[in-house]
Amino acid sequence: MASNEMDKQSIRALEKILGHRFKDKDLLVRALTHPSHVQGTDQADLHNQRLEFLGDAVLGMIVAHELFLAYPQEREGFLTKARASICHGKGLTELARGLGLENFALLGRSERVATLQNRSLILGDCIEAIIGAVYIDGGFRAVQKLVRSWVIGRIRSLDAEAIAFNYKGALQEWAQSAAAPTPVCYELIDQKGPDHARVFTVAVVIREQTVASASGYSKKDAETLAAKQALEVIRMNENRIPANSPVAANPCGDRILAASAEDKALPES
């Protein structure tokens, strides 16, 4: 992709923000190019999804190493959840917005007016693609330095209790302790994107009502985020399901099992 898709001033500004001067400027431009920006053109394959795939793996490895060093007494379960909290979803979106990537991302018209949730996913993808681009352009030491500068503060300040908290289990306990015990069901309502970066959207259904929904890069992550949002909605409504919650398209009935026995609201030991 020719670097004239992004002007030289913008490239220099972004390099300054990242603290990395690219030998190959086209790599940086491609990292910020969403597929929608080149769709229908003769450059339709020159977008950031391959870099995103690579960056996801590099990010995960570096963060895993830093967590391993920072928390020598914690078990694998905590480390896995901590890595997910940093490498996916809200953590990446907050990082992208903090860097001002919304001002640089190359998007198609529909993505420029997308919902907040979809824009958040796009920004997280751009972070991963930038990591992949820096890895190719500068090697492992360069990308390790970049990622550490982004995440080391978060790693050192992680709340172990919050990381270990089981939102699905907590929601199930609430449902079973209510005046009329009822199962909690998770309904897959949408999935999109390429196989290596598929986004799943899951709704929480309680008493035939959709209480909340959320998206993630795995069904499990989406269910966890949806359960967290459902708990927040219930607590804000004086520990009840809001009366205006929409009727679920596919009520639970006997079709979907309640949360399994392993989803108890206990911190992981």
Total number of domains in the chain: 2
At which of 143, 163, 183 does a domain end? 163
pLDDT at 135: 98
150-161: average pLDDT: 81
Same domain, 190 and 137: no
Chain-centroid distance, C-alpha 1: 27
Q: Are residues 142 and 84 in the same domain?
A: yes
149 with 170, same domain: the answer is: no
Stretch 234-261: mean pLDDT, rounded?
68
In this prediction, residue 64 has a pLDDT band, given cuts at 50, 70 and 90, of: very high
Of 236 and 160, the structure prediction assigns the larger pLDDT to: 236
Boundary residue ending a domain (131, 163, 195): 163
Catalytic, 128? Answer yes
Residue 185 belongs to what domain range?
A: 166-269
Mean pLDDT of 235-256: 73
Could you tell me which residue, 264 or 68, shows the higher pLDDT? 68
Residues 175 and 150 in one domain: no
The predicted structure's pLDDT at residue 1: 38
Nearest Cα neighbor of 160 from 79, 101, 252 is 79
**Identity of residue 218:** S
| pLDDT value at residue 111 | 61
Count the neighbouring beta carbons within 10 Å of the beta carbon of residue 232.
12
Confidence of residue 216 (pLDDT cuts 50, 70, 90): confident
The SS3 of residue 92 is: helix
* More confident position, 197 or 236: 236
Catalytic residue among 26, 128, 221, 223: 128
> What's residue 256's pLDDT?
42
Residues 88 and 190 in one domain: no
From the candidates 26, 56, 66, 223, give the one annotated as an active-site residue. 56
Shared-domain flag, residues 156 and 172: no
Specify whether the CB–CB gap between 204 and 211 falls below 8 A: yes
Contact 21, 98 (CB under 8 A): no
- Is 56 a residue of the active site? yes
Residues in the chain: 269
Same domain assignment for residues 36 and 158: yes
What kind and span of H or E run contains 212?
A: strand 209-216
Q: Bridge-partner residues for 190, per DSSP?
A: 201
Q: Would you place residue 134 in the very low, low, confident or very high pLDDT band (cuts 50, 70, 90)?
A: very high
Contact 186, 206 (CB under 8 A): no
Q: Are 143 and 135 in contact (CB under 8 A)?
A: yes
Q: What's the CA gap between 83 and 59, in Å, rounded? A: 10
- CATH code of residue 254: 3.30.160.20
> Of the candidates 163, 194, 217, which is a domain's last residue?
163
pLDDT(58) > 90: yes
